[in-house]
Structure 1
């Protein structure tokens, strides 16, 4: 049975099944961003065969162009593709919940928490394993994304630009340039046959789309106008701040750090510098997206209710935007020009995924020479062999790496 046939047959998984899949992903996706995306790809494409690689890469490209956390936006894209708006909401919620509860627990006891050294030892071993997971995802995607020399060249250029230049404008330029090359390079058929993944009845800009647009405009308006409004509710202030900022976070979660620091430490004075640093450090320790640090801030400001409001505000608007954009793009997905553009985009997405793996490896501390760095390099090599050679599950590879980190001196 072909992969395409299997994906088609499983195109409508139950909501409960989706929740369990993404909750599991949220429990083990340390590193956020491409780490989480790579585990999503392994579960959805390889293990459960619900979508194809090209569909996942379409979601990654769209998420990179839109504001908000790339990984959670990709999850929302996948959920929307499988089960519509409800699927998007359920999958995004499921993947965030493990990090939310962990962060809530850390925020409650972090002053008395003395296990930070243990967590750091585990994390130092998990990072190279995550790099292996990401590299393995890129290797698996290369079959469809890189069919010829031109695609390999595009992927190499994209990886080089990400590693040595970086920045959201570079990402945008890479994707636009790749789309242009794709349309110029590939001969376009005069026929515009509907692809196997296109809906027979493309999504129209109906009432739901207008409501989503109104919600997004309202979030931005509230953020811009809030200083002039006489509102004393801390929950309302949290929602206004994080919902507005979430729609300005082009470039991923790390752009969030200086923005939120200026807002909650400088402007609002809700957290001290040390407390803010703790929120970022704990966001790194938990699996899932770094933006889960908003939960810590919300808890500090308004308790559990504040944690819930801040978490919803930082993730909901970008997820709404990507579902809205994906539904409208679905209307043109059967056109030959769109397909040609996507062929170029998928090549550079594969290159950017490999760049993410290299970036994680570059974070290994070589200041003490190979004698100190070799355990992490060995973990990367063994993890990649286990994943690519022995087809081991990403979850067990990550957990095993964390255990090794705890045992290392």
Structure 2
């Protein structure tokens, strides 16, 4: 087994997931594709992860132990601990440069890029679905509520989706 590849596969699945059982699809695909694990080992590690106390991510350690022994378990522990450690390092560096004008300019630029992508996605949705006055009203109301910061963005998204589904079922939205 190539231990560096093994480590990078585990780290990649952890970095690009939301934690808990988020790495499961990526790990399952990579481990099965490489012939490192079987479906039975996944089932056993998920069972172990459910019955052990502590964070949900411990199933990864048990999977890597079943697949690659103690060395695999240690590499998975390092992969699990590395992202939070990197966040702490970035946070510490950020606090030192947070008040620098260039830092604020960079962050403002990132916000503009993200907002631009959102506008592009919204325009594409309008174009592909046809311009509908009800969709425009929902989008504008959602935008105004988000700008006011009086309502959580998650609540806005849920209510906008519910209104869209209800109006679609009523035949108002095509």
Please report the TM-score for the alignment, with normalisation by the length of structure 2: 0.51
Match of 1:302 among 23, 30, 45: 45
Please, what is the CA RMSD of the aligned residues? 4.6
The verdict on how the C-alpha distance between 1:376 and 1:299 changes in structure 2, with shifts beyond 3 A counting, is farther
Question: Are the aligned partners of 1:270 and 1:301 in contact in 2 as well (CA < 8 Å)?
Answer: no
1:361 CA displacement = 1.8
Match of 1:319 among 81, 84, 93: 84
Gaps of at least 5 residues in structure 2 are 51-55, 62-75, 170-174
Question: Are the aligned partners of 1:223 and 1:241 in contact in 2 as well (CA < 8 Å)?
Answer: no
1:352 CA displacement = 2.2
Give CA-to-partner distance per residue, 1:80-111, whole Å, 9 cap, x none.
xxxxxxxxxxxxxxxxxxxxxxxxxxxxxxxx
Q: Secondary structure at the match of 1:392?
A: coil
Which fold has the larger relative contact order, with Cα–Cα distance below 8 Å and residues 6 or more apart in sequence?
1
The verdict on how the C-alpha distance between 1:260 and 1:377 changes in structure 2, with shifts beyond 3 A counting, is farther
1:339 CA displacement = 1.2
Matched, 1:379 2:148: no
Which residue matches 2:122?
361
Gaps of at least 5 residues in structure 1 are 1-221, 227-238, 273-297
Which residue matches 1:60?
none
Question: Are the aligned partners of 2:146 and 2:152 in contact in 1 as well (CA < 8 Å)?
Answer: yes
Which residue matches 1:341?
102
Q: Which has the larger radius of gyration?
A: 2
Question: Are the aligned partners of 2:45 and 2:59 in contact in 1 as well (CA < 8 Å)?
Answer: no
Counterparts of residues 4-43 of structure 1 (less than 5 Å): none
Q: Give the total of aligned pairs.
A: 138
Please report the TM-score for the alignment, with normalisation by the length of structure 1: 0.26
**Counterparts of 1:299 and 1:224, CA distance in 2:** 21
Q: Secondary structure at the match of 2:151?
A: coil
Which residue matches 1:242?
10
**Counterparts of 2:38 and 2:130, CA distance in 1:** 38
Which residue matches 2:34?
267
**Counterparts of 1:350 and 1:299, CA distance in 2:** 40
Give CA-to-partner distance per residue, 1:169-198, whole Å, 9 cap, x none.
xxxxxxxxxxxxxxxxxxxxxxxxxxxxxx
The verdict on how the C-alpha distance between 1:388 and 1:325 changes in structure 2, with shifts beyond 3 A counting, is closer
